[in-house]
Structure 1
Amino acid sequence: MKRRNFLKLGAAVSALPLIPSSMLAADKLTALKKNGEILTAARWGILKASVKNGKIVKSAPWKITSKIPNTLQNTMADLVYNTRIKAPMVRKSYLADPDNPKPELRGLDEWVEVKYEDAIKLVARELKKTREQKGASSVFAGSYGWQSTGNVHVSRTLLHRFMNLSGGFTGVTGDYSTGAAQVIMPHVTGSNQVYEQQTSWPVVLENSKVVVFWGLNPISTLRVAWTSSDEQGFKYFEQLKNSDKEIIIIDPIKTVSGKYFEGKARWIAPRPNTDVAMMLGMAQHLYSQGKYDKEFLQNYTVGFEKFVPYLTGQSDGVAKTPEWASEICGISADVIKELAIKFYENRTMIMAGWGIQRAHHGEQAHWMIVTLCAMLGQIGLAGGGFGFSYHYANGGAPTCAGGVIGGMNAASVGVVKDGKFLGLAQDQKQGGEATQAWLVNTAKVAFPLARIADALLNPGKTIDANGEKITYPQIDFIYWVGGNPIVHHQDTNTNIKAWRKPRTIVVNEIYWTPTAKMADIVFPTTTEYERNDITMSGDYSNMHIIPMKQVVAKQHGAKDDYQIFTDLCKAYADGLA
C-alpha cells in the first residue's frame, strides 16, 4: 500500500460521509466570531456561549427544560482558561534515556518542555521499539474515560484507529461504571440492560403507582450524558415529584436526590452493601405468603426451582426471612414485609442505580432485583418491572424517529513489516493461519478494565473473566486519552505502584490531572470549545443533531487529538527516529 493511502486511513476522512472536510482543516475554517452568541454543546447539554473580543464571558443552556439547575453549563470559561497544559512536556529522566527512564520517578520527576514535532518523533520511535522488542500485546491503548463529546474529535476512537493501523494493541473489556452488572445481565435477561432504553417516562407517569429509587441519585448524575444531554430527565423527575405516585428511596445516605424529594418521598437507609439481603428478605416473605406470580415465573423464566431451596434455607440451613435480612441490613423486619406486599399489590417500577454493584460479588444486586421483579410478575406491564438507566443520560426519554449521525471508527489492524505499512491484516494474502495469528496477538487481546493495575503488576497471570481464562500480557507502553484513571480506578496507592511498571506512558490531556502528572510524555489538547465538531443530544432519545461550533481560538500549544494522531501516522509511516 502506498504511503498516501496509509495516511488516508489514518486521517479517516473517508469514514465520515456526513462531515465536511473543512471541519478537519483549520486553514479552511471561516473566521471565528469575536462578539456575540455561539451555539455549541458538551456532555451537560446544548449551550449558548457569549464571547466578547474573542473571549468567553458567559455560558448558559440553550433551552431551559426544568427548574432543576445544572451549574456545569456555566463553567465554559473556567474549562478553557484555567489549569491548562501549555506545551508538549517530557519527563526529565525519560528524555535523558528512554531505555532507562527511571519509572519509579513518575509523579516526582521534573518536566522538560519540548517542541511538538520532537514529541511526535519520540512517541513514534518508542512505540516502534516496544512492538519490535516485545510485540504488539505489550502496547496498551485500551484507554477509558469521559472524553469530550463529539463524533469527529472522539479521542479514544482516534487512539484506537492509530494503534490498530500501526500494528495493534492490547485493549480492555467493560468499564468502571457497570463492570459487574453489564457482565451478569446478558446471562440473566439476555441483554445488557444498564445501557439500554428504559420503559418510557410517559408510561411510568401514567401507570406506575409506586416508584422506587434503589441506590440511584438522578438529580446529581443527570447533569451529564455520554453524548450531549437532552435534559429531559430533570423534567420527568420534576413531574414525578409533582405527581400522586408513592416514591420510596432506598439508599444508605440522603443524597442530592433524597433532599430534592424530601417531603414527597419516603427514605429508607439500609447499611451499605446489604441490598441483596434486604431483597432476599422481601422475596422470602412473598414466597411464604404465596404472594408471587407463579404464572409469570412458569411462562417467562427458568431456574426459580433452583432459587427456592436457597431462599427457604433448604440448601444451606438458613432461611432468608425478613428477620434474617433485618440483622444484616438494619431495616426492621416489619418494614421489609410491608415493602414486599406494597410492591406486589401495586404497579411498581424499581429504578436501580449502579453504585450497588461496585463491590465484591456486585453482580448479585442487579441479578436479585430482576429476580424480585420476576416474582412480582410486573415485568412487561405498563409502568412495572425494573430499569437500570433512569439516572444515566436521561434514560426513559422517548426515542425519536429521526436519523442518527455516524462518526469515527477504530479501523482494523494493520500490518507493518520492515518499516513499511503493508495494508490491513484482513486484506493480506499471507495465508489464513498467519493472518489469524496476527489478529489473535493484537485486536483480540483484552482484559477487564478494572483489572488494569493487577495486569500491570502481574504480567503472565491468568484470571477467570465471564467464563473464560485470560492471561495478562507484559505491558511496557501505555497511551491514555480522554480519561483520568489515577483517580478513576479503585485503590489509588496500588494503581500508582502499577503505573510505575511500564517503560513508557503517553497521555493526551487538557489539564494537569493526576494521570498527566504520572506520564512520561504529555500532549496538550484542545477542549471541545476550541474546535468544530458535531454530536447528538440524548443517548436514548436521539433528539437533536447539534453543530458544536468552535467558540474561541486554540489556547497555548494545544492540538486537536485528531491532529496529534494524524501526525503520529505520518511519523510512523515515514519511519522517523
Structure 2
Amino acid sequence: MTAFRPHSSHWGVFEGGWQDGRLVVRPHAGDPDPNRILQNFPDALRHEARIARPTVRRGWLERGPGPDAQRGCDEFVAVSWDRALGLLAEVLARTPAERIFGGSYGWSSAGRFHHAQSQVHRFLNTALGGYVRSVNSYSAGASGIILPHVVGPMESLSRRNVTWEAVAAQSEVVLAFGGLALKNSMVAGGGISQHIERDSMRAAAERGCEFLLVGPLRDDCPAEARAEWLPITPNTDTALMLALMHAIVAAGRHDRGFLERCTTGWPEFEAYLMGRSDGQPKDAAWAAPITGLSAERIAALAARLPGRRVLVAVAHSLQRAEHGEQPVWAGLALACVLGQVGLPGGGYHYALGALGHTGRRNNLVSTAALPQGRNRVGAHIPVARISDMLLHPGEAYDYNGQRLTYPEIDLVYWAGGNPFHHHQDLNRLREAFRRIGTLVVHEQAWTATARHADIVLPVTMTLEREDIGSSQTDPLMVAMHRLAEPFGEARDDYAIFADLAARLGKEAEFTEGRSAREWLQNLYDRTAEDMREKGFEAPDFEAFWRAGYLELPQAPDDGGMLRAFRDDPAGAPLPTPSGRIELFSGTIAGFGYDDCPGHPAWLAPRDVPDAASPLRLVANQPATRLHSQLDFGGHSQETKRRGREVMRMHPADAATRGIADGDIVRLFNARGACLAAAELTDAVMPGVVNLPTGAWYDPEDPAEDKPLCVHGNPNVLTRDVGTSRLAQGCTGQLATVQVERFTGNLPPVKAFTPPG
C-alpha cells in the first residue's frame, strides 16, 4: 500500500506517494475545489529540463566578469560544487554590496523556510552587509503605491476586507472590473487548503446576487456566477467608472452623507466629474466611444446600483497597464458615491479573487518566516524598472514623490523567480543583462534566466526537501515532508548559502548554528508559543511533524479597517493624511505628475491600435501553471497545441486574416514576435487577442537582436514602461499587435532541452 505524506504548494495542499516508480499526487481531502496545477509535479520531478550539475558560462569562465554580448547564446561548462562556489565566493568578496542587485522576485516555494527570496536576502545581508533591493511587485505595482495615499495599505483592502462568506450571504450586486477568474484565486503565497471561491459565487448567484463582469474576456468569471458580461475596450475601465458616477450624481442618487462624513476632496473631484473644472462632463455619451459600451447600456447599469448592497471589485489586471493607478482609485470613488464602503458584502475590494489569500478570514496567530537580517544598503528600485537600472545607471527618475537615481550594478544574484517570465520587452531585458559583470542564478531547471546566467547552481524542488507551509489567511499549517530525493547534484538554497557564507567567514551569522531541520522547529515553535499565549493548544514540533497538519484559529469576519472606519470615522481613522478616504489627494497633487493628478481621472493611453498593430493583446495569467513555473509539467503541456502556447481570438478577426482554429500564427509588433496556436472563440471580444504569460521564452536564433520566440511568450511584445511617475509599476497586461497565419517551416520548441 502506498504511503502518502503531506506537502503544500502555492496552488494547494496535497499528499504525495510513489506507485510503480512514479510520483502520485492527490489533493488535500478537505479542499472542495482542488487545483489541477498539482498534476504538473509528477512529470516535472525528473524532467530533462532539470539542472543536474553546477555550470559556468564558457565566456565568463575564460574571460572573467564583464559585459558580454554572448549571454543567452553561449555554451556552459559543468564544474564541481567546490569550483563553482569557490569562483562565486571570489567575485562576491571583491564586489561592493552597493553594486550587487538581489533580484530574486518570485513565487519560489510555499514553504516558510525554503523560500528562495528570503534565503538569498538573508545571505546577502548577513554575509555581505546588504544589496540593492527592489520594492513593490509586478502584480500590484501601481495599486501598492496609490492605495496607501488615498485609503490605506493594500493588504488591508485585499486580505482584511469583504470576505467570500459575506459575498455569498449579503452581496446583491458584485461589479467585477477585470473579473473573478478562478485560475487566479487557485493560487496563494504560503499554500492553500480550501479553494472556496467557486462555491461562494454559486451560493451568491443562487440567492439572487447579480455578478457583472466588466472586461474583454467573457470567461473571467466562472459559470457558477451566472455573470452578465459587459465587454469593454481594455484599459478604459476608468472612463466607465466615471460615467457611472456621473449618472448617479446627476440623478441625485449619490450618498451625500457618506461622502461628507467619510471622504475628503469630494468638491474637487465632483467638479471634474461633472465637467465644471475642464468643460467635459464625464457622462455616458462621453464614455461610450471610449469604452465600446453604448451610452444606453452605461445609463441602465448606473440606474441598477443605488440602494442595493453593491461590491465594487477591482482586479490586479486593471492596474498592470498605462495609468494603472486610475481605475484603482476610481473604483474606490464609485463605492464612496454609492455609500457602500465598509458594509458587509458591499463597498470596495481591491483584488478580490486575484489570489487565494483574498476574501478570507485571517488567522489569530502569527506565522513565522525566516529573518532576513539588516540591509545596510539604502538603494532600491521599483521591481519593474530592472532593465532601466541596468541600461541607464546614474540616471535620475521619479517615483512616489521622490527623485531617485539608478545605481550602478556589477553583479545580479537571482534565486527564485524568472525575470524572463515577469518582465516586459524581453529583447530589451536581454540587452540589459548583457551590460553587467556577473549574473548568478539558483535554478531547478533551464529557464531562459538560467540560460543567460554566468554561474548556474542547481537547487532542489520543493518535493525534494522538508518545510512548513502556512499562510495568514488559511487555517491549516502543513508539515511538508520530503517526497523525493534531490535531482542530480541539486542542493537546497540554504545549504548553498551556508557553504558560501563559510567561505566568506560569515557562516555563524547566516546559519546561527542551526541545521535546516532546527530552523523548521524554530519557526514552528514561534507559532506554537503564540497559540498557547492566546489560550489554544499546540503540540510540540515532533508531534506536529508526525501528524502532518495543525489547525490554526481564525479571527471573526469583522470587515477589517474599512468596517471599523465606517462605524466610527473619528475613533478609527484611516492611515491617510486626513484620516478619511481621499477623493482628492493634496499629497499626490503636490508631486506635480501629469500622468497621475490629484484625483481619479481619465488619462488616454498612448499605446492604441493603429495600422501596424491593429489588435489589442491581453497577456493575462495562465490557467495551467503558476506564472512560468513547471511549464514542462504534464498539466501545462496537455493544454498546448503542437507544443505552442494557445492564443485566443474572435472568429471575425480570424476570418479577415485567413486564420483557422488550430493554425500556428505569428504575433508581432515593433518590439518582437512570437508563434502561438490559434483558438477561435467568441469569449474574446472583437479586436482583442489573448495570449497568457508563462510559456518559457524560446528564441529561434538567440544571436539575433530580435529573435522569433517559437513557443509563445507574450513578453516579447509588451512594453517596458512604468504605469506613471507615481508608482512606476509594470504595464505588461496589455499591448497592441498584429497577427498573421504562419506559413514558414515550423521551428521546433527547444525551451525544455538543456543547452548544449
User: Normalising TM by the smaller chain, what interval?
Assistant: 0.7 to 0.9
Structure (1/2) with the larger helix percentage: 1
- For the pair 1:478 / 2:412, whether they are aligned, the reply is yes
* Cα pair 1:225 1:539 within 8 Å, conserved: no
- Which residue pairs with 2:16 in the alignment? 49
- For the pair 1:40 / 2:7, whether they are aligned, the reply is yes
- For the pair 1:562 / 2:494, whether they are aligned, the reply is yes
Q: Provide the C-alpha distance between the structure 2 equivalents of 1:167 and 1:574, rounded to a whole number of angstroms.
A: 10
Deviations 1:482-501 (A, max 9, x none): 10001210111111111111
Q: 1:220 aligns with which of 183, 186, 208?
A: 183
Q: Provide the C-alpha distance between the structure 1 equivalents of 2:236 and 2:299, rounded to a whole number of angstroms.
A: 16
Q: Shift in Å at residue 405 of structure 1?
A: 2.9
* Cα pair 1:41 1:548 within 8 Å, conserved: yes
Q: Shift in Å at residue 74 of structure 1?
A: 1.9
Deviations 1:394-441 (A, max 9, x none): 42222343x33312111124xxxxxxxxxxxxxxxxxxxxxxxxx3xx
Q: What value does the CA root-mean-square deviation take over the aligned residues?
A: 1.8
- For the pair 1:204 / 2:167, whether they are aligned, the reply is yes
- Which residue pairs with 1:20 in the alignment? none
Indicate how the Cα distance of structure 1 residues 195 and 458 shifts in structure 2: closer, same or farther if over 3 A, else same.
Answer: farther
Q: 2:441 aligns with which of 481, 493, 507?
A: 507
- Which residue pairs with 1:59 in the alignment? 25
- For the pair 1:245 / 2:209, whether they are aligned, the reply is yes
Q: Shift in Å at residue 308 of structure 1?
A: 1.4
- Which residue pairs with 2:99 in the alignment? 138
- Which residue pairs with 1:378 in the alignment? 340
Q: How many correspondences in the alignment?
A: 502
Q: 1:177 aligns with which of 125, 129, 139?
A: 139
Q: 2:239 aligns with which of 265, 277, 292?
A: 277
Query: Larger RCO: Structure 1 or Structure 2 (Cα < 8 Å, ≥ 6 residues apart)?
Result: 1
Instruction: State, as a whole percentage, how many aligned pairs show the same letter.
Output: 33
Indicate how the Cα distance of structure 1 residues 64 and 254 shifts in structure 2: closer, same or farther if over 3 A, else same.
Answer: farther
SS where residue 529 of structure 1 aligns?
helix
Give the alignment of 1:64-75 within 5 angstroms: 64-66=30-32, 68=33, 70-75=35-40
SS where residue 81 of structure 1 aligns?
coil
Q: 1:295 aligns with which of 248, 257, 260?
A: 257
Q: Shift in Å at residue 194 of structure 1?
A: 5.2
Q: 2:321 aligns with which of 344, 359, 362?
A: 359
- For the pair 1:188 / 2:155, whether they are aligned, the reply is no
Q: Provide the C-alpha distance between the structure 1 equivalents of 2:183 and 2:174, rounded to a whole number of angstroms.
A: 18
- Which residue pairs with 1:304 in the alignment? 266
Q: Provide the C-alpha distance between the structure 2 equivalents of 1:142 and 1:470, rounded to a whole number of angstroms.
A: 19
Q: Shift in Å at residue 305 of structure 1?
A: 0.7
Q: Provide the C-alpha distance between the structure 2 equivalents of 1:568 and 1:241, rounded to a whole number of angstroms.
A: 56
SS where residue 317 of structure 1 aligns?
coil
- Which residue pairs with 1:118 in the alignment? 83
- For the pair 1:466 / 2:400, whether they are aligned, the reply is yes
- For the pair 1:86 / 2:52, whether they are aligned, the reply is yes
* Cα pair 1:198 1:389 within 8 Å, conserved: no
Q: 1:397 aligns with which of 350, 357, 360?
A: 360
Q: Provide the C-alpha distance between the structure 2 equivalents of 1:341 and 1:457, rounded to a whole number of angstroms.
A: 51
Q: Structure 1: 5+ residue runs without aligned partners? A: 1-33, 414-438
Q: Shift in Å at residue 234 of structure 1?
A: 3.5
- Which residue pairs with 1:545 in the alignment? 477
Residue identity in the other structure for 1:452: I
- Which residue pairs with 2:702 in the alignment? none
* Cα pair 2:158 2:359 within 8 Å, conserved: no
SS where residue 235 of structure 1 aligns?
helix
Q: Provide the C-alpha distance between the structure 2 equivalents of 1:512 and 1:201, rounded to a whole number of angstroms.
A: 39
* Cα pair 1:351 1:390 within 8 Å, conserved: yes
Q: Shift in Å at residue 481 of structure 1?
A: 1.1
TM-score w.r.t. structure 1 length?
0.84
Q: Shift in Å at residue 355 of structure 1?
A: 0.6
- Which residue pairs with 2:547 in the alignment? none
Deviations 1:237-268 (A, max 9, x none): 3433443211111111123x445247x21100
- For the pair 1:149 / 2:113, whether they are aligned, the reply is no
* Cα pair 2:274 2:282 within 8 Å, conserved: yes
Residue identity in the other structure for 1:61: P
SS where residue 485 of structure 2 aligns?
coil
Deviations 1:95-125 (A, max 9, x none): 112145x521011000000101111111111
Q: Provide the C-alpha distance between the structure 1 equivalents of 2:243 and 2:462, rounded to a whole number of angstroms.
A: 49
Q: Provide the C-alpha distance between the structure 2 equivalents of 1:202 and 1:359, rounded to a whole number of angstroms.
A: 31
Q: Shift in Å at residue 212 of structure 1?
A: 2.0
Deviations 1:279-331 (A, max 9, x none): 11111111111110111010100001111121122221211111000110011
Q: Provide the C-alpha distance between the structure 2 equivalents of 1:99 and 1:380, rounded to a whole number of angstroms.
A: 56
SS where residue 95 of structure 2 aligns?
helix
- Which residue pairs with 2:386 in the alignment? 452
Q: Provide the C-alpha distance between the structure 2 equivalents of 1:147 and 1:574, rounded to a whole number of angstroms.
A: 25
* Cα pair 1:258 1:267 within 8 Å, conserved: no
SS where residue 366 of structure 2 aligns?
coil
Q: Provide the C-alpha distance between the structure 2 equivalents of 1:232 and 1:73, rounded to a whole number of angstroms.
A: 17
- Which residue pairs with 2:61 in the alignment? 95
* Cα pair 2:180 2:222 within 8 Å, conserved: no
* Cα pair 1:106 1:500 within 8 Å, conserved: yes
Q: Provide the C-alpha distance between the structure 2 equivalents of 1:544 and 1:64, rounded to a whole number of angstroms.
A: 10
* Cα pair 1:214 1:250 within 8 Å, conserved: yes
* Cα pair 1:296 1:374 within 8 Å, conserved: yes
- Which residue pairs with 1:425 in the alignment? none
